[in-house]
């Protein structure tokens, strides 16, 4: 690998690149899906290749190929440099990466059980057991379960002298029960441990065991069936709502994680993902939320789905304050964007979706830090409110202000008690008003680092895997419901 990388970097410089880096990546994924007692999908995919990123004539070029051999280097490097020279046609100034970075190191995800060494029968057995438990509940139309494992081995080398290798292992799983009643036109789903197919972390198979899918299968199936005849969540202009940790995690992802991406702020994602309401003049003086809101971007949390040793520019993993006691204090940055705002060095959030994509600013583990409340007290101290649990739908505008989320299940709260189940709950708001209305965040006892394995961004499209620590939290005066 060292020779291969050195050859590419040499050639790039000989062709006139003033900066070059190469990533050589092999990614192996294993996917298992069970539906209604049948193994619906069992696949293992392997994708390898290298990508060369260069600056020539002061502009960026990138080319990538699946053929990792010495002959192909020459073609791909020449293509990257030619592309950079074409980019320069429209440039308004030269790319500035700031101070040179030379990093050396190796990072490996610590795992107790390597998921690729766990027998396939064991994995299928767990999913089949959960599947059977779900389908024992009358009224369940579809039961699904899945596991996903990923191993990514990557080498990064740059013309500034960096040489880094990393092996990152991920494990994810989830089950979902669907109940339907065609006459009443109702479909309801319940998921465990999270919706969207699965929860995912950078850990080994031990995570799958801890998720206790077979033990939770009957519960979610019964909840899905009960939801069919549950009362419709009312539409209210100003309600107290309590969100479970997984929904808080997604709320953080959408309404904090994305608008703090400095590339969005600077307009470079405008055509697709959009821009951000957190414009530069707000840094350090904008009230983003109430003073119980503390958010960090931390790539060093053990097991977090956004945890790594170095980003894809070779910058070491870091922890950055984003919101401090409600005040907006930090962005996630890259080398180039940090220079543009004169923020000093990059805080290491550039990640690429495989060998054939360039790195973009991506969330690491963007987390709402634990508060002081016992999770149960959030409910017992609420006179009149709604508990909402497990995301079902999510949508937010392209500056990340107006959002609407729906959850799989909700409960009416009266006088400190969950009284009756509610279906089709949604809530909506404007980001800083919403976080400003948060009066209680549960403590570390209910704080979990959730994984979002499906964050889309960029052209061509890239999918990132991000982490979000969160615990249940309470919000006052929130608009609930749209279905009248």
Lay out the site mask for Zn ion across 409-448 (x = CB under 5 A, - = otherwise): ----------------------------------------
Question: Which of 369, 424, 418 minimizes the C-alpha distance to 392?
Answer: 424
Tell which positions 34-53 bind Zn ion, by CB under 5 A. none
Least distance to Zn ion, CB of residue 425, Å: 22
Q: State which residue, 30 or 390, has the beta carbon closest to Zn ion.
A: 390
Q: Which residues contact 446 (CB under 8 A, 6 or more apart)?
A: 245, 375, 471, 472
Q: State which residue, 13 or 65, has the beta carbon closest to other proteins.
A: 65
Residue 42: contacted member of Zn ion, other proteins, none (CB under 5 to 8 Å, by partner type): other proteins
Burial of 113 (0-12, 13-18, 19+ CB in 10 A): middle
Residue 99: contacted member of Zn ion, other proteins, none (CB under 5 to 8 Å, by partner type): none
Residue 465: contacted member of Zn ion, other proteins, none (CB under 5 to 8 Å, by partner type): none
Least distance to other proteins, CB of residue 440, Å: 26
Least distance to other proteins, CB of residue 82, Å: 6
Q: Per CB under 5 A, does 455 bind Zn ion?
A: yes
Least distance to other proteins, CB of residue 367, Å: 23
Q: State which residue, 208 or 358, has the beta carbon closest to Zn ion.
A: 358
DSSP code of 342? T
Residue 160: contacted member of Zn ion, other proteins, none (CB under 5 to 8 Å, by partner type): none
Least distance to Zn ion, CB of residue 297, Å: 14
Q: Diameter of the chain by CA atoms?
A: 74
- Structure-block tokens of residue 185: 């036109």
Q: Which residues contact 287 (CB under 8 A, 6 or more apart)?
A: 326, 327, 328, 432, 436
Q: State which residue, 125 or 344, has the beta carbon closest to other proteins.
A: 125
Least distance to Zn ion, CB of residue 253, Å: 6
Residue 461: contacted member of Zn ion, other proteins, none (CB under 5 to 8 Å, by partner type): other proteins
Least distance to Zn ion, CB of residue 460, Å: 16
3-state DSSP call for residue 69? coil
Residue 455: contacted member of other proteins, Zn ion, none (CB under 5 to 8 Å, by partner type): Zn ion
DSSP code of 234? P
Q: Per CB under 5 A, does 295 bind Zn ion?
A: no
Q: State which residue, 41 or 99, has the beta carbon closest to other proteins.
A: 41
Least distance to other proteins, CB of residue 472, Å: 23
Q: State which residue, 47 or 381, has the beta carbon closest to other proteins.
A: 47
481 in Cβ contact with 380 (< 8 Å)? no
Residue 411: contacted member of Zn ion, other proteins, none (CB under 5 to 8 Å, by partner type): none
Least distance to Zn ion, CB of residue 80, Å: 28
Residue 191: contacted member of other proteins, Zn ion, none (CB under 5 to 8 Å, by partner type): none
Least distance to Zn ion, CB of residue 201, Å: 17
Residues for the chain: how many in total?
484
Per CB under 5 A, the segment of 66-74, 338-346, 377-385, 452-460 that binds Zn ion is 452-460
Least distance to other proteins, CB of residue 124, Å: 6
Q: State which residue, 266 or 283, has the beta carbon closest to other proteins.
A: 266
Q: State which residue, 50 or 331, has the beta carbon closest to other proteins.
A: 50
- Structure-block tokens of residue 220: 């979610």
Tell which positions 192-231 bind Zn ion, by CB under 5 A. none
Per CB under 5 A, the segment of 91-99, 236-244, 276-284, 454-462 that binds Zn ion is 454-462
Q: State which residue, 189 or 442, has the beta carbon closest to other proteins.
A: 189
Tokens 């060093």 label which residue?
A: 300
Q: Which residues contact 350 (CB under 8 A, 6 or more apart)?
A: 311, 312, 313, 315, 334, 335, 359, 360, 361, 362
Helix count (H) and strand count (E) of the chain? 10, 25
Q: State which residue, 164 or 455, has the beta carbon closest to Zn ion.
A: 455
Question: Which of 423, 419, 483 minimizes the C-alpha distance to 226?
Answer: 423
Q: State which residue, 139 or 416, has the beta carbon closest to other proteins.
A: 139
Binding positions for Zn ion, rule: CB under 5 A: 455
């Amino acid at each position: 690998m060292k020779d291969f990388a050195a050859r590419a970097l040499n050639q790039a410089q000989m062709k006139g690149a003033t900066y070059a880096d190469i990533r050589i990546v092999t990614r192996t994924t294993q996917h298992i899906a069970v539906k209604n007692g049948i193994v619906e999908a069992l696949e293992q995919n392997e994708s390898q290749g290298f990508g060369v990123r260069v600056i020539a004539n002061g502009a960026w070029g990138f080319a990538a190929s699946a053929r990792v051999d010495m002959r192909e280097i020459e073609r791909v490097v020449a293509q990257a440099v030619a592309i950079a020279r074409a980019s320069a046609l429209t440039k308004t100034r030269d790319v500035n990466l700031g101070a040179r970075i030379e990093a050396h190191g190796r990072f490996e995800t610590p795992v107790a059980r390597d998921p690729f060494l766990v027998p396939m029968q064991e994995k299928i057995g767990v999913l089949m057991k959960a599947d059977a438990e779900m389908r024992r509940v009358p009224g369940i139309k579809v039961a699904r379960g899945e596991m996903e494992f990923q191993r990514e081995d990557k080498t990064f080398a740059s013309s500034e002298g960096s040489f880094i290798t990393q092996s990152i292992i991920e494990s994810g799983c989830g089950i979902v029960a669907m109940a339907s009643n065609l006459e009443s036109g109702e479909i309801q789903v319940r998921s465990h441990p999270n919706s969207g197919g699965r929860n995912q972390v950078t850990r080994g198979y031990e995570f799958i065991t801890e998720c206790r899918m077979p033990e939770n299968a009957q519960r979610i199936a019964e909840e899905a069936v009960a939801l069919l005849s549950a009362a419709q969540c009312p539409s209210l202009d100003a309600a107290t709502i309590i969100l479970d940790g997984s929904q808080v995690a997604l709320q953080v992802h959408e309404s904090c994680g994305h608008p703090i991406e400095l590339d969005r702020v600077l307009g470079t994602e405008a055509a697709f993902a959009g821009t951000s309401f957190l414009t530069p003049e707000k840094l350090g003086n904008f009230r983003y939320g109430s003073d119980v809101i503390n958010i960090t971007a931390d790539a060093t949390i053990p097991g977090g789905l956004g945890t790594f040793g170095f980003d894809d520019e070779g910058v070491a993993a870091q922890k950055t304050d984003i919101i401090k006691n409600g005040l907006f204090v930090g962005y996630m940055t890259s080398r180039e964007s940090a220079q543009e705002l004169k923020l000093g060095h990059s805080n290491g959030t550039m990640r690429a979706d495989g060998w054939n994509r360039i790195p973009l600013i991506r969330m690491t583990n963007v987390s709402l830090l634990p508060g002081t409340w016992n999770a149960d007290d959030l409910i017992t101290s609420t006179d009149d409110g709604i508990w909402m649990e497990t995301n079902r739908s999510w949508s937010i505008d392209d500056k990340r202000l107006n959002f609407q989320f729906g959850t799989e299940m909700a409960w009416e709260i009266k006088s400190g008690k969950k009284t009756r189940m509610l279906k089709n709950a949604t809530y909506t708001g404007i980001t800083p008003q919403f976080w400003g209305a948060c009066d209680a965040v549960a403590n570390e006892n209910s704080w979990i680092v959730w994984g979002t394995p499906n964050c889309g961004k960029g052209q061509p499209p890239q999918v990132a895997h991000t982490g979000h620590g969160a615990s249940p939290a309470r919000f006052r005066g929130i608009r609930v419901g749209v279905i009248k």
